[in-house]
Amino acid sequence: MTVKTFKGGAHPPERKDRSSGLAVERLREVKQVVVPVNQHFGAPLQALVKVGDIVKRGQKIADADGRMTVPVHSPIAGVVKKIEPRTQSNNNDGPCIIIEALPPPAEGQAAPAPEDLVDFMPPLDVFSCTKEEALARVRAAGIVGMGGAGFPVHVKLAPSKPISYVIANGAECEPFLTIDERTMIERPEDVVEGVAITMKIVSASEGIIAVEENKAHAIPLLEKAIASSPRTRAGMKIRVQLLKTKYPQGGEKMLIAAITGKEVPSGGLPMDVGCVVQNIGSLCAMVDAFKEGKPLIERGLTISGGACAKPVNVIAPIGTPVADIIAAGLAQVDEAALAMIIYGGPMMGVAVPNYQIPVQKNTSGVLLLNAEEAKHYDEETCIRCGRCMRACSCRLSPALLAVAIESEDYKEAEKIGLLDCIECGTCSFVCPAHRHLVQRFRVGKQVLRALKQKEAQNAR
């Protein structure tokens, strides 16, 4: 099999061996969940429940009108205790619905009937229903891109341009994280089925499951699942593509460039080059939504890191404070060594002050780093070595971009491509002077957007 890749990138230490061999476990008993109302990229939602309401597992508890909205469901059967702002995994406070699990039935009392506890939708056969019905189901199930951005999947699946390829993103290029790898090993049939469902909805001609070389052991399982899938027997074309292990191979733009040789035009979307890219977790969530009518109320994540004495790949209800996963004994923390907590991967994840923060739809991992892994350096002067220029996967000349931003020349910064930056952090990783490059670009993007908005208002 040919190994494909993109130009640029870097090789941060992978550190996946800590958890790549661990089968996915499940957190069964949850006493309380803290469900953020807004877990998607788009317009904010309204809570549909109030304090004191009894909610079923799978019941919709927040929603709003508008295309860029995705509802949120209760991950457990319980009572709404509070609705208040809490710290979310982006380290900002946001409205959260706090639900306490129903107590087990007292002695002598009958256990409640399952239909009083669970509120799933009826199953739906995506291969016989209409496209509108399928899209409505994807939205109703609350599915977002689970790789990190939280983009509404029903919007992604309703492109205004013809689609040729559906790409399943099994690159998982962030160090430490192994949940997608485990999902491909343990649920290969569902990954293939998810690709087939996506292909059906967007009328794509080819499905490609992209896997990095360090996860090549999942390929025979995926190929077996493809060969035995009723969809491929019915004529759907699905294959596996091997990719070089390199960061940020799992970036949507890099994945598309590596596989199709085409580049998503500046300011455009994958659909502009006939592609839809789906996260492995999102694909499985879609399978559950059609087969069982189950909304996105739980997800798999990796808990790892040098200060994590016992790492784990675990499926937990959305809203579970990570501390509760640890309290249940599924993972162990070495408190004395703990220096840093990251929600997400070490390259793009968010550093947070504690692990009380709940699991969200886009939480692919929680890293508990020791002092060695969390080592940060003082910023030195740029020596103009050009390492960032060669590593930038978007070919943005970070060294020159940083100079433009520091001198507040936003015209030049825009020309170099500030708004095209995907904020992957490769430039900051490779910098021998430890310049805060991507950090400057993040701030610079906001300033530039504000300037452009002002300009547009003045032009009116």
Partner 1 sequence: MPAKGILLSSSPHSFTPVSTSRIMLSVIIALIPAVGYGVYLYGFSALALILVSVISAVAAEFVFRKAIKATTTIGDFSAVITGLLLALILPPKTPLWMAALGAIFAIVVAKEFFGGLGTNPFNPALIGRAFLLMSFPAAITTWSMPNGLALAADATSAATPLALMKQGASLADVATYFGASDTGAFLRQLFMGYRSGSLGESSILLILLGGLFLIGIGVVQWIVPVSVLASTFVFAWVFGMNPLFALLTGGVVFGAFFMATDYSTRPLTPAGQALFGIGIGLITVIIRKFGGFPEGVTYSILIMNIITPFLNKIRVKKYGYVPPVKPIKPTKEAGK
Rule CB under 8 A: which residues touch partner 1?
Answer: 10, 12-13, 91, 175, 253, 257, 263-268, 338-342, 344, 346-354, 369, 373-377, 380-387, 389-390, 393-397, 399-400, 416-417, 420, 425-426, 428-434, 436, 438-439, 442
Looking at the Cβ atoms of 221 and 400, the one nearer to partner 1 is 400
238 closest CA partner among 228, 246, 248: 228
CB 53 → partner 1: shortest distance, Å? 32
CB 354 → partner 1: shortest distance, Å? 6
- The three-state DSSP-derived secondary structure of 390-419 is HHCCCCCCHHHHHHHHHCCCHHHHHHHCHH
CB 387 → partner 1: shortest distance, Å? 8
User: 3-class DSSP state for residue 238?
Assistant: strand
Looking at the Cβ atoms of 13 and 122, the one nearer to partner 1 is 13
Residues in the chain: 460
CB 223 → partner 1: shortest distance, Å? 31
Report how far residue 178's alpha carbon sits from residue 313's, in angstroms, rounded to the nearest whole number: 7
Looking at the Cβ atoms of 72 and 431, the one nearer to partner 1 is 431
Report how far residue 41's alpha carbon sits from residue 36's, in angstroms, rounded to the nearest whole number: 13
CB 415 → partner 1: shortest distance, Å? 9
CB 428 → partner 1: shortest distance, Å? 5
Looking at the Cβ atoms of 106 and 336, the one nearer to partner 1 is 336
In degrees and rounded to multiples of 5, residue 159 shows phi and psi of -75, 155
Looking at the Cβ atoms of 40 and 253, the one nearer to partner 1 is 253
Alpha helices in 152-270, H assignment, sequence order:
153-156, 179-186, 188-202, 219-228, 230-233, 252-260
Looking at the Cβ atoms of 159 and 417, the one nearer to partner 1 is 417
Looking at the Cβ atoms of 31 and 434, the one nearer to partner 1 is 434
DSSP characters over 110-147:
PPPPHHHHB-PPPP--TTTS-HHHHHHHHHHTT-B-TT
Looking at the Cβ atoms of 383 and 451, the one nearer to partner 1 is 383
Looking at the Cβ atoms of 52 and 261, the one nearer to partner 1 is 261
CB 15 → partner 1: shortest distance, Å? 9
User: Residue 3 pairs with which residues in a beta bridge?
Assistant: 242
Q: Which helix (H) or strand (E) holds 32?
A: strand 32-36
Do the strands 46-47 and 60-63 form a parallel or antiparallel pair, or are they unpaired?
Answer: antiparallel
CB 433 → partner 1: shortest distance, Å? 5
CB 260 → partner 1: shortest distance, Å? 13
Contact 188, 146 (CB under 8 A): no
Contact 75, 34 (CB under 8 A): no
61 closest CA partner among 43, 83, 40, 42: 83
Q: In what order do the strands lie in the sheet with 60-63?
A: 46-47, 60-63, 72-73
